[in-house]
Amino acid sequence: MDILTLNCGSSSAKYQLYRWKEKRILAKGIVERVIVGGSFIVHEVMGKEKIKVERECPTHKEAIALIMEMLVHPEHGVIDNVSQIQAVGHRAVHGGEKFKKSVIVNDEAMNTFKELADLAPLHNPPNIMGIEAAQQLMPNIPHMAIMDTAWHQTMPNFSYIYALPYEWYEKNHVRRYGFHGTSLLYVAKRASVLLGKDPFKTNIVSAHIGNGVSFNAVKNGVSFDTSMGLTPLEGAVMGTRAGDHDAGIDLYMMEKLGLSPSEMNKILNKKSGVLGITGKYTDRRDIEIAAKKGDGRAKLAIEIEGYRGKKYIGAYMAALGHTDAIIFTAGVGEMSPIIRNKMVRGLEEFGVIIDPEKNELSHTRNAETDITGKGSKVKIFVIPTDEELVMTEDTVALLEGRYDVHTNFRYSFQDPHYINKLREESFKKSLEKNPELLKIKAKIPGID
With a pLDDT cut of 90, the percent of the chain lying above it is 73
Select the more confidently predicted residue: 21 or 160. 160
Q: Contact, 412 vs 406, CB < 8 A?
A: no
pLDDT of residue 97: 81
Shortest CA distance to 309 belongs to which of 206, 240, 188, 222? 206
Domains in the chain: ranges and CATH: 2-147 (3.30.420.40), 193-384 (3.30.420.40)
Contact 12, 32 (CB under 8 A): yes
CA pair distance 70, 42, nearest whole angstrom: 10
| Dihedral over Cα of 127, 133, 137, 139: its sign | positive
The more confidently predicted of residues 176 and 331 is 176
pLDDT tens digits, 91-140 = 887 777 888 889 999 988 888 888 877 776 667 777 888 888 889 888 99
Name the CA radius of gyration of the chain, rounded: 21
Please answer whether residues 427 and 437 qualify as being in contact, where contact means their C-beta atoms are separated by less than 8 angstroms.
yes
- Give 416's contacts (C-beta < 8 A, 6+ positions apart): 193, 196, 444, 445, 446, 447
Q: For 179-192, write each residue's pLDDT tens digit.
A: 999 999 999 999 99
424: left (phi over 0), alpha (psi -120 to 50) or beta: alpha
Strands 2-8 and 85-92: parallel
Distance CA 375, CA 359 (A): 16
One-letter amino acid at 10 equals S
Helix, strand, coil in percent for the chain, rounding step 5: 45, 20, 40
What are the Cα distances from residue 115, in Å, to 22, 118, 120, 301, 379?
39, 8, 11, 36, 42
Q: What is the pLDDT confidence band of residue 167, given thresholds at 50, 70 and 90? A: very high
Active site residue 404: no
pLDDT in tens, 295-353: 999 999 999 999 999 999 999 999 999 999 999 999 899 999 999 999 999 999 999 99
Query: pLDDT value at position 121?
Result: 66
DSSP string, 341-365: HHHHTT-GGGT--B-HHHHHH---S
Residue 8 has pLDDT above 70, yes or no: yes
pLDDT class of 425 with cuts at 50, 70, 90: confident
Predicted confidence at residue 122, as pLDDT, reads 66
Query: What's the confidence (pLDDT) of residue 111?
Result: 86
**Other Cβ atoms within 10 Å of 320 Cβ, number:** 18
Average pLDDT, integer, range 193-201:
96
C-alpha 131/C-alpha 103 separation (Å) is 13
Distance CA 352, CA 343 (A): 11
Of the listed 2, 148, 225, 295, which one is catalytic? 148
CB 147 within 8 A of CB 92: yes
